[in-house]
Chains A and B, each alone.
Chain A
Amino acid sequence: MKNCLLIFLILCSTYKVSAQELISLRGKVTDSDENAIENVGVFITELNKLVETDENGNFEIALQKGAYTLIADYPGYNTYKSTIKISKNQKITIKLVSLGSDVLDEIVITANQKKLNIRKPEMSVNKLTAAEIKKMPVVLGETDVLKSILLLPGVVNSGEGTSGFNVRGGGSDQNLIQLDDATVYGSSHLYGFFSIFNADFIQDLKLYKGGIPARFGGRASSVLEISQRNGDPQKFKSNGGIGLLSSRLLFEGPIVKDKLSYIIGARSSYAHLFLKLTDIESAAYFYDVNAKINYTLNEKNNFYLSGYYGRDVFKFKQSLNNSFGNTIVNLRWNHIYNSNLYSNTSLVYSDYFYGLTLGFVGFTWDSGIKNYTFKHDFTHNTTDKLNLKYGFGAIYYDFNPGEIKPDDAESSINDYQIPHKFAFEPSLYLEAEHELSERVTINYGLRYSMFYRLGEEIVNNYANNEAVIYDSETQTYSEGKAISQTYYGKNKTIESFGNFEPRFAVSLVLDDDRSLKGSYNRMTQYVHLISNTNAATPLDIWAPSGNLIKPQIVDQGAVGYFQNIADDKYSVEIESYLKIGQNRLDYIDGANLIGNRNIEQVLLNGKTRAHGVEILFRKNTGKFTGFVAYTISKAEQQTKGRNANEVGINYGKWYRSPYDRTHDLSIVGSYDLNKKWNFNANFTLQSGRPVTYPNGHYEYLGQNVPIYDYRNNYSLPSFHHLDISASYTPKPNKIKGWQSEWVFGIYNVYNRKNAASISFRENEDFAGKTEAAKLSIFGIVPSVTYNFKF
């Protein structure tokens, strides 16, 4: 027994001795503008050990006194290598210098993502940097953040020229799009042809398709995190570009060197986009402005103030005036308590506005959504095996479902404001990343979200709480009639919800190159996009959950296999997912959604389900890089009758969602010929969008009426196009003064006439003759863009 005690004491003391000798090296990796870089591998040569930075660019390692050679390597940047002597606990900053320059990368990024991080329990996440996005050939050379993610596995949209995107069978309203910390509602210009994000202003983007950590919530399907750049704290810089559709200009620099810096970027299309220049009464254009101020109070406190303002304007003489866009203001405070604990506090104001004046109908229509968000998040590295993230936040919503006003005295329209709706959404979460053993790391978390629908509002009450009535004889649904109304005063709770959202992810390392990962997440979404069309449109209206509209709940499980091949030259990711959703809104046939005062009278509750397999194969290094992404999937929805007597929508049967694509293949390649020339190509091939074709027609009121039966029973012809681009840098070695670059592109090289839609109509010249007409949007579109910086 004595011996045992002795051994125990020896063990303790040994432990103590070695612990004393270990010191901590903490570091942060940033780019030259002090933007933190995530997932950078920092290699300590002497220890043969690799550590990775977290999303704030921080890393930490325990080591003994001595001299160490640190190598930090990240695609698109020069490799950092330095030997430092460490004798006490120390904090260092590693600044990576971008290859070439940060805007005109003469050398293309050698990998879309560094080799796979097979250890981290993070899956179903894709990351793209601004430099990568800028290399991709696009319509009219207009770099587009949102279109670039459509190349990733598991992501589709409703077709060319439609806004929004669909992730793993989710609706376009189920994506949380965060610009820094601000939630973005309308994400496109020109009714969906281009996204509102100015690529010059963007650092990178990260798309969470599954395994969504507990810190995110509020949307049911995915999270798209877009980080904006910080201004250069050292010297003034400028860059810009001239394209066929728009021009852009960006300035950045210090106000007080290393203390206070700014960045401001603006983009505008030409005022008479596609319209005759002589027609001065009409206009069609869009513009957006991004600005950010970064203030470093001291080592421990950083403040950021950023803003976005964008508008689309369409005017057609007196007949039509349409304007819409976002206003976002975001104040963020980054505080470091100590090297293990830091916090991020944000205040966000976001306003989406949609206005339409139709002169020939005689009305003006305004709608929108305003948000006030507060967030307080902590990152806490308790030990090197357990990292915590926790925080809380709240959003206050002010929905304007629409106001109708007569546009002049002659109009016979009554002035009518559909009452505003108000809601409050607080939430809190705890998330832990826990290294259980050498081989197993888990990330688990729990989010609790609440939603309060608040007054002031007059709420309709319906018999049996059913706002939609069913006629069993004609088997049709129609609007119910309220039997009474209840008045709720200002800030009185009309209805409240609370939901636990568990999140879990695990990685199991098989060997140095291979791992298996699994994840599960539950997401709750309290706001609903009221849209009865297949594609998202800027006039879509958002509605909060309440006494008759229940929150959407989506459960997703995914498993995957990850491998780096041939010294990380290649990597492969294979994932399979299953996603089940409840309370997805569906609409009764013929529902009128715009200007509808009692939207609950046309809504029915449905379910969704989606499953699929995604394969992503990348070549990460060398002159030729790129990836092949293939997805096979199915996305369906179902709206059953509320009881056995009702048929539901589509006879209560499952039907394919508009964004169901059985096959989806993308091939993206980039080749560096030399320092001057770089070539890129994208090829996309996917199954056509599900559509409903008629199975006959008849004559009624002298009209030719097609007969439709089951929804989405056919698919449009398969969709494919090949796009290429080449960028030419005349003087690649010039790093001072005026530097320039030309980007030449061809979208849809072989002029494929992809069907955007097929309509069924009567021939214009021969009454009675029916025909199917295919509309295709983009044929072959060449483009040239000139970029510059000084």
Chain B
Amino acid sequence: MKKVQNILFLLCSLFLISCEEVIELDLETAEPKLVIDATLHWEKGTTGNQQIIRLSESTGFYNQEFPKAKNAIVWIVATTTNQIFQFSEITDGVYNCNSFVPNLNETYLLHIEYKNEIFEGTEKINPTPLISDISQDNEGGFTGDLIEVTASFQDNINEDNYYLISWKNNELKEEFEVSNDEFFNGNTMKTSYTSSDEDEELKPGSVLNIRLSSISKNSFNFISKIFSSANTGNPFASPVGAIRGNVKNITNPEKYPLGYFNILETHSQNYIVQ
């Protein structure tokens, strides 16, 4: 439903003689924070042994390079079995584990030691439904003349569900979308993709990768806020504050880390545009 705000703004700009320009603006830079990009994917039917966690630091708004968080100690523990999975740094800020064992409904704890501070957070693996159908029409987009691909999946009527969907068009950047079943409970849920960017328009032969994951409510809230914070300038946008994830700084709670620890069962499908 967040879309509505954006549409409203779009409409306003559409009808007006508005103009946009890039400006120079001095911005302050806050003390850097640890950024935890720990989204573990366990594709249905695979072992999920191979996992990667990326650690970096936040930086000034105009800086293009994100400093890597090097020399951290990283491990994950399954809270019921107490099995520990060590992650080792393979390149700067990238931590790898080859022996991870994912289990449905198991809760995992992420532990990071970085610059003499300890960070911890937990997340559970929620079961993800299968992508049941992928279809295509040529009436997508706001203008109704773009190729649109729609994926369907069955929502569980007995619980509140939250989903993270990612779309990858050929080798372009992944696009994410979150949704929930508030208005769709128990239905076949649909999610659609059209590229709004002219250079990345879907063409016959384009390969589209769709990945569906169930996420927790907490994670849904977090990712929704991340997306809306990328959208704050317009006067119809909601005010945002600091966005905190599920990982805490145990040593110094005031210096909370950014990012989120997610561990997801996923179902992926490739689709070739007709």
Contacts and interface: CB of A to CB of B under 8 A. Distances in A.
Interface in B209-255: 217-218, 221, 223-246, 248
A245 to B, nearest CB: 11
Contacts of A589: 225, 240-241, 243
A767 B173 contact: yes
Contacts of A710: 241
A713 B174 CA distance: 33
Contacts of A318: 139, 144
Chain B: interface size category = 35 or more
Contact of B22 (A358, A703, A772): A772
A581 interface: no
Contacts of A534: 235-237, 239
Nearest to A697: B61
Contacts of A771: 22, 62
Contact of A705 (B64, B230, B244): B230
B19 A161 contact: no
Provide the main secondary structure of the chain B interface: loop
Most chain B CB neighbours (cut-off 10 Å) among A474, A753, A773: A474
Interface stretch (A516-524, A679-687, A756-764): A756-764
Contacts of A587: 238
A700 B239 contact: no
A733 interface: no
Interface string A272-307: 011000000000100000000000000000000000
Contacts of A649: 241
Contacts of A316: 142
25 contacts: A161-B16, A162-B235, A193-B16, A319-B143, A358-B3, A358-B7, A476-B221, A476-B244, A478-B221, A594-B1, A594-B4, A595-B182, A595-B183, A692-B239, A693-B27, A696-B58, A698-B56, A699-B66, A700-B260, A702-B174, A707-B30, A771-B22, A773-B22, A774-B22, A778-B17
A613 B237 CA distance: 30
B16 A692 contact: no
Residue from the set B39, B58, B231, B245 with the largest chain A CB neighbour count within 10 Å: B58
A363 B91 CA distance: 48
Contacts of A702: 173-174
A785 B212 CA distance: 57
A535 B239 CA distance: 11
Interface stretch (B70-78, B80-88, B101-109, B185-193): B185-193
Interface of B: 1-5, 7-8, 11-25, 27-30, 32-33, 35, 37, 39, 56-64, 66, 139-144, 173-174, 176, 182-190, 192, 217-218, 221, 223-246, 248, 256, 258-260
B233 A360 contact: no
B142 A532 contact: no
A412 B190 CA distance: 7
A554 to B, nearest CB: 22
A27 interface: no
Nearest to A690: B239
Contacts, number: 258
Interface residues of A, number: 96
A696 B33 CA distance: 10
B139 to A, nearest CB: 8
A490 interface: no
B23 A533 contact: no
A760 B235 contact: no
A360 B140 contact: yes
Given A534-B235, A701-B223, A773-B23, A695 B30 contact: yes
A776 B242 contact: no
A515 to B, nearest CB: 41
A711 interface: yes
